[in-house]
Amino acid sequence: MLKGSSTLSVLRRTRLDEVPADRGGERKASGPAGATRLAAIDGLRLVAALAVAAFHYVGTTTPHFWGDNDPRQFAPALHEISRYGWLGVEFFFMISGFVICLSCWGRTPVQFVVSRISRLFPSYWCAVLLVVALVLIARLGHLQAATPIDPRTILGNLTMVPGPLGLQLIAGVAWTLWVEARFYLLMAIMLCFGLTYRRMLAFCGAWLTLAVIARELDSTVLDELFIGKYAGLFVTGIALYLMHRFGQNLVLWLLAGFAWCYELTVLNDRVVAHAVKPADGGAISWAVCAAILTCFLAVLALAGIGPLARLRWRWLVTAGALTYPFYLVHQSIGIPVAKGLLQTVPALGVLPSMAVAAAFSLLLSAVIYRTVESPLMRVLRRQLTRGMSPGQRSTDTTAPHQGEPAGPRGQLNPPTGEHPNPNLPMPADAGRIPSDA
């Protein structure tokens, strides 16, 4: 009896660094036993992508998008709403903090890097090459292409970091992937030390502090390294994930509150960047942006630690599966499709042309997911994990489940790997969700 008590005491001490002290290691399951994912978050990712698409289709008055077809003329009310759609990018980053923390918990840095490379590059390469093909076809038809293409630009874009290389983006929305990549780098560094509750708290606190210092020093280098413009979004998502995994407590809510106050303050930089001349519709309101973003936060909290976490609607998983490829193609391919329809069938009208382009982009994203992303992802993971031990290889090919049953003392069982069909959700047998914006 004494020996058993001693063993239990040792086990508790070894897990002390893994749990919030004020919770005693207990955590309520986020959903029914055996639940495989947080379906609501899948749906929220598509909502974020559709918000960005609405901004590009109706919310912007940029001449090279629609020329003389000014959205303020053919859809004034829709334009007023959609001009705030760029906040969908901020929502993506918030969701990313949650799901990337979920996906890398219990992994090694190598496993995490393999999962990110194989997850992001297949659809991205496909989108870039499709735009290149579209431009070449336009040239053969003696049509004017909005995107100048040359071999150097193509090669630089295939790296996914054309912006830092001083090149024009072929897939215009891909600038967000460079922001995500820097977040992944910070998480990979943390994985070198191992993820625990207390270490993640220290990491989030240090990240926000360094982001503040970077702004105080007006240091471009530090601001780029610590992603000062979006750090609060990622940290808020991480705090919500820690609540999901370990339960809510005052420390986590204070962390989320500080990160949110920081983010709403620096949000003004983004608001100024999207401001337009009064003649073009007036300035963007910071107060409206802050209110919309706070609503996004509330919905994510409901999906991660609230009643929406219990949703098990498979159509939400299907919606999430289309998010990443749709986000990549809706602007660079969807807008040329709409413009082509307007030129070919002028009687169709601007809004119907946009609706057809959006539907086409969704259909194309489904094709990319089924025929390119899923099979090429498996090939990449298989090749990148060659030479690893069987245990390491299985961890890179089977995804951790969202909302998995609790293990000893209410703790989540550590993820054992990644599903053959990786990060972006799959309609039938989905694994986890990463961010993709």
How does pLDDT run across 366-415, given as a tens digit for each residue? Answer: 999 999 999 999 999 999 988 665 555 544 333 333 433 233 333 333 33
Compute the distance between CA of residue 83 and CA of residue 81 in angstroms, rounded to an integer. 6
What is the per-residue burial (b if ≥16 Cβ within 10 Å, else e) of 187-211?
A: bbebbeeebbbeebbebbeebbebb
Amino acid 258: pLDDT: 97
The tens digit of pLDDT for each residue in 157-172 reads: 999 999 999 999 999 8
Spatial contact of 399 and 423, defined as CB atoms under 8 Å apart:
yes
How large is the average pLDDT for residues 73-88? 88
Amino acid 76: pLDDT: 82
With a cut of 90, say whether residue 85 has pLDDT above it.
yes
Instruction: Count Cβ atoms below 10 Å from residue 1 Cβ, excluding itself.
Output: 5
Q: Alpha-carbon dihedral of residues 21, 22, 28, 30, nearest 10 degrees?
A: -80
- For the chain, give the mean pLDDT: 80
Compute the distance between CA of residue 306 and CA of residue 318 in angstroms, rounded to an integer. 22
Compute the distance between CA of residue 374 and CA of residue 381 in angstroms, rounded to an integer. 11
Phi and psi, residue 129, nearest 5°: -70, -35
pTM to 2 decimals?
Answer: 0.81
Amino acid 175: pLDDT: 94
CA 376 to chain centre: 20
With the C-alpha atoms ordered 341, 342, 343, 347, is the resulting torsion angle positive or negative? positive
Amino acid 418: pLDDT: 33
Amino acid 361: pLDDT: 95
How large is the average pLDDT for residues 79-97? 94
> What one-character-per-residue DSSP string does 153-194 give?
HHHHHHTT-TTTTT---SSGGGHHHHHHHHHHHHHHHHHHH-
Amino acid 126: pLDDT: 96
Amino acid 420: pLDDT: 31
Q: Provide the percentage of residues in the chain whose pLDDT is more than 90.
A: 57
Q: Name the residue with higher pLDDT: 344 or 287.
A: 287
Q: Name the residue with higher pLDDT: 344 or 159.
A: 159
Amino acid 66: pLDDT: 67
Amino acid 63: pLDDT: 65
> What one-character-per-residue DSSP string does 369-419 give?
IIIIIHHHHHHHHHHHTTTS-HHHHHHTTSPPPTTPPB-GGGPBPPP----
Amino acid 27: pLDDT: 40
Q: Residue 401: helix, strand or coil by DSSP?
A: coil
Residue boundaries of the structural domains of the chain: 53-62+82-410
Range in 72-86, 94-108, 184-198, 277-291 the model is least confident about: 277-291
How large is the average pLDDT for residues 105-134? 93
Range in 274-278, 314-318, 369-373 the model is least confident about: 274-278
Compute the distance between CA of residue 232 and CA of residue 188 in angstroms, rounded to an integer. 19
- The Cα-based distances of 219 to 210, 212, 257 in angstroms read 11, 10, 25
**pLDDT band per the 50, 70, 90 thresholds, residue 282:** low
Range in 113-122, 147-156, 241-250, 421-430 the model is least confident about: 421-430
Segment of 34-43, 128-137, 233-242, 319-328 carrying the highest mean pLDDT: 233-242
Helix (H) or strand (E) segment spanning residue 259: helix 250-273
With a cut of 70, say whether residue 17 has pLDDT above it.
no
